[in-house]
A and B are shown apart, each in its own frame.
Chain A
Amino acid sequence: MKILVPVKRVVDYNVKIRVKADGSGVETANVKMSMNPFDEIAVEEAVRLKEAGKATEVIVVTVGPTAAQETLRTALAMGADRGILVQTDAETQPLAVAKVLKALVEKEGPTLVILGKQAIDDDCNQTGQMLAALLGWPQGTFASKVVPGEGSLTVTREIDGGLETVQLTLPAVVTADLRLNEPRYASLPNIMKAKKKPIETLAPDALGVDVAPRLTTLKVAEPAKRKAGVKVADVAALVDKLKNEARAI
């Protein structure tokens, strides 16, 4: 089976982001960009399935600017076979991305799509569920374990109360949670090899998808700041503050 893995280029998770002074968004110029951490986990899972002989090909895809090719290269260095860049400079919202992915699924015919559960820039947590809906496929979201079977997939999901296990008939959509696996670091030889792997570039129009945003961002602001706290000398002082100042206990 073929596996499709959508990956997003986002501001690196270690960067302390800055809100632009005019409230139009978050500063992304001259900021370190990386693959969305959940997508690394998704790529890792797909590559492991291929290494285990359960998958034949891993295709990675990104919807974004030309620079997002770097993200595809990272995935190729981890072991994916080829990449697709759906090039657009527009803001990519989950519904539009899901429509692009649906068109690619129809074109490429994968049996499984593994996404990250959430992009750490927009924190939407929507695209996988939307893609599953558009395809009419079952979904195993927030996966911490994926076990392929005959024509099906058993997925353990992280839910609010603990864990849930579901069995999905293939083809299916899975979204990766943090504990699904620990992504590998690409070795230097694999980084070199990745440079020769093919990347195809497409326009959203060529797939017949309108990627225009449905939500308009009116403004982006800093969150309310907490007032500076104090250090207390010892446990007795802490208890005193909690009882008499904060009245929290």
Chain B
Amino acid sequence: MSILVIAEHDNAALKAATLNAVGAAAKIGGDIHVLVAGQGAQAVAEAAAKVAGVSKVLLADDAAYAHPLPENVSPLVVNLAKGYGHVLAAASSEGKNLLPRVAALLDVAAISDITGVVSPDTFERPIYAGNAIATVKSADPIKVVTVRTTAFEAAAATGGSATVETIAGTGETGSAKFVGQELTKSERPELTQAKIVVSGGRGMQSGDNFKLLEALADTLGAAVGASRAAVDAGFVPNDYQVGQTGKIVAPELYIAVGISGAIQHLAGMKDSKVIVAINKDEEAPIFQVADYGLVADLFKAVPELQQAL
């Protein structure tokens, strides 16, 4: 059976998360098709056609898909899904918004946030904030799956030569309207894609003090993340949050500064290759997962670290 991967994009470029979803599809095995639902998204379809392992791209170009509203996109996916054994998307805010809606319309279970493929109908996924890993088997004819991007290698962005087929849209439901977006602008790498992440917690004390971490991040070419406490306190925007209910990251190096290490935070970063913790409390639980722990006042240690690099 073939696999349908839902592309994530902004109508101009294909998002990197889609490559990880294609990577997971390759693990399942079978023909891989990619759906690009967008408006003026020809360039995205062309980019998807170049992804290694993809054999066909379906492009639904329609004003209804200018923004990925699940009310409009789900009927399109449901119509297509009947010809596939699997429907996959990245476990991003967009994938999580769309796929359960698709699954319910197909009357099948959705399988969230898989971290492993055991066989085409059996998957591993974290539960309880990653404190346990469940192996689940689906009895449904179509498996609707979101993919934890950090758990699957990205497919190569080039090397493929898929055909692009244009398909008709399924129209607008009109029940939901896009009003606006406030996207965080940053010159730094994207949190989930960065090789190095520097994160701050409540210990930073203010948004202004995050400049210390930004300076360190810029020296390292890193992204900046945060704990929930730092986001709730308004130090940084919501999309910085790493954890069970924020972003899942697994960079080469994660530097946690003034973060205590609550399980909900660890859930989002404990698969990082190397973890550094800087905290003035030597009992802080973050030290239990840190490869290198530095017990120090961050306001002294962070500038010193930046100088030393």
Contacts and interface: CB of A to CB of B under 8 A. Distances in A.
Nearest to A167: B177
Contacts of B212: none
Interface string B102-142: 11110111111100000000100011111111111111100
Contact of A129 (B97, B131, B136): B97
Contact of A214 (B94, B139, B173, B228): B139
Contacts of A117: 245
B128 A26 contact: yes
Secondary structure of the B contact surface, majority rule: mixed
Interface in A191-249: 214-223, 226, 229-232, 234-236, 238-239, 241-242, 246, 248-249
A248 B100 contact: no
Contacts of B69: 166
B163 interface: no
Contacts of B140: 214
Nearest to A119: B127
A124 B125 CA distance: 10
B252 interface: yes
Contacts of B231: 179
A93 interface: yes
A235 B111 contact: no
28 contacts: A98-B104, A117-B245, A133-B101, A133-B102, A133-B103, A138-B173, A138-B175, A139-B176, A141-B97, A142-B93, A142-B97, A159-B93, A163-B182, A164-B178, A164-B180, A166-B69, A166-B178, A169-B174, A214-B140, A215-B138, A218-B122, A219-B134, A220-B133, A222-B131, A231-B292, A238-B305, A248-B253, A248-B274
Kindly name the residue among B93, B128, B196 whose own CB sees the greatest number of chain A CB atoms within 10 A. B128
A241 B275 CA distance: 12
B304 interface: yes
Interface stretch (B80-88, B202-210, B293-301): B293-301
B256 to A, nearest CB: 12
B94 A160 contact: yes
Interface stretch (B18-26, B37-45, B51-59, B236-244): B236-244
Identify the interface centre among A125, A128, A161, A232: most chain B CB within 10 Å of its CB: A161
B179 A226 contact: no
A159 B304 contact: no
A168 interface: yes
A85 B119 CA distance: 37
Nearest to B282: A231
A216 B137 contact: yes
Contacts of A239: 305, 308-309
- Give the dominant DSSP class at A's interface: mixed
Contacts of A1: none
B138 A214 contact: yes
Contacts of A19: 131-132
Given A129-B104, A231-B295, A242 B138 contact: no
Contacts of B275: 226, 229
Contacts of B247: 160
Contacts of B157: none
Contacts of A127: 100
Interface in B197-238: 220, 228, 231-232, 237-238
A13 interface: yes
Contact of B183 (A161, A166, A219, A234): A161
B104 A130 contact: yes
A231 B128 contact: no
Contacts of A158: 93, 238-239
A231 B236 CA distance: 29
A236 B307 CA distance: 10
